[in-house]
Amino acid sequence: MPRTVLITGGAGFIGSHLGDDLLAAGHRVRVLDCLSPQVHPDGKRPAYLDRDVELLVGDVRDRDAVRRSLDGVDAVYHFAAMVGVGQSMYQVADYTGVNDLGTAVLLEALAERPVENLVVASSMSVYGEGLYRAVDGGLVPGRERGREQLAQAHWELRDADGGALAPVATPEFKQPSLASIYALGKYVQERQALLIGGAYGIPTVALRFFNVYGTRQALSNPYTGVLAIFAARLLNGKPPMIFEDGRQMRDFVHVKDVARACRLAMERPAAAGEVLNIGSGQAIAIRDLADRLAAVMGRDDIAPEVTQRYRVGDIRHCFADIGKARAVLGFAPKVRLEDGLEELADWLSGQIAVDRVEQAARELAARGLTV
């Protein structure tokens, strides 16, 4: 049955793709978005947002705007958030206001007017370090690396006896380790939503997104996803900047796969009350990813700059175990990384990016947030 669905933050990267997916499935889509200058520099409705999407411009912290946006709505996707680990460590009030308070305002409104479904966007950042296998074969949670270790460029995690720890796919049962204000806020968002959803009978799902990539990502935002940051550098003839030694492992999932997972979270009753990883289930080293992006963009003459520096709040390895999402949602990624990168390169050929990466790096260094 067609529903009227609200997506907070829905004029952005993931939200707009979700809007397309929901429209194709026959639903009506409304978006509440403040059109933040960091994401939408011109402050206008983005051209990529489908004309059938109803856009309400407003801040998720504005109680009146939130209540208006909920009028006649059957289901809500809460995506409105400030994004970025590094920036969150010095714009603490802004991140806490948008991510924590904004979620609270939305949930107060939903307590007054419950909906049929609520899906909240969380993040793999809540895990901190991922899960590891010790020398004896046992599974152990990764622990935060100390500054002394990092200052010596000893990047890999080891046990108390100096034994090597091997990264493995991280499942939802791995306890959170909140290494940044952004990670803390995302964990608060998912717990707030699940608590209020349970109290007011709203079926609620928290989706922990891993590294989402694809078209429409904000190329001029130096705190967005790493692939978009690399692309902005390459478009300007500059080398991607890579922290540590570039061998840190991540999981990159295509935005269309993420949008489909979000729709399934609304459609599958068994998902209510669950926290689910949404990723590709595959790991790749950041240095390898940079090389592959440069190749598909025709800029393999530009080698990445491996800085051998560390940002406070960064982790070494984390990639997704998606077994639970397969079982609960029937979710399986469809877009191969090579195909997704080709699509991204085609889109990038028509884009202009203002490269602010070096400015962001200077801001972090000035605050002592790089080692």
Burial class (CB within 10 angstroms; exposed 0-12, middle 13-18, buried 19+) of 90: middle
Torsions phi, psi for 292 (to 5 deg): -70, -40
Residue 15 is which amino acid?
Answer: G
Q: What's the length of the chain?
A: 371
Residue 93 is which amino acid?
Answer: A
Torsions phi, psi for 209 (to 5 deg): -75, 140
28-33/54-57 β-pairing: parallel
Among residues 155, 166, 88, the alpha carbon closest in space to that of 130 is found at 166
166: β partners: 133
What is the Cα–Cα distance from 369 to 89, expressed in whole angstroms?
Answer: 8
Which string of b and e fits 96-123 if b means at least 16 CB within 10 Å?
bbbbbebbbbbbebbeeeebebbbbbbb
What is the Cα–Cα distance from 16 to 31, expressed in whole angstroms?
Answer: 9
Among residues 109, 7, 14, 13, the alpha carbon closest in space to that of 53 is found at 7
What is the Cα–Cα distance from 41 to 189, expressed in whole angstroms?
Answer: 26
Residue 259 is which amino acid?
Answer: A
The continuous run of DSSP H or E covering 325 comes out as helix 323-329
Return the active site residues: 182
229, 360 Cβ separation under 8 angstroms = no
Q: Which two tokens stand for residue 204?
A: 């609620």
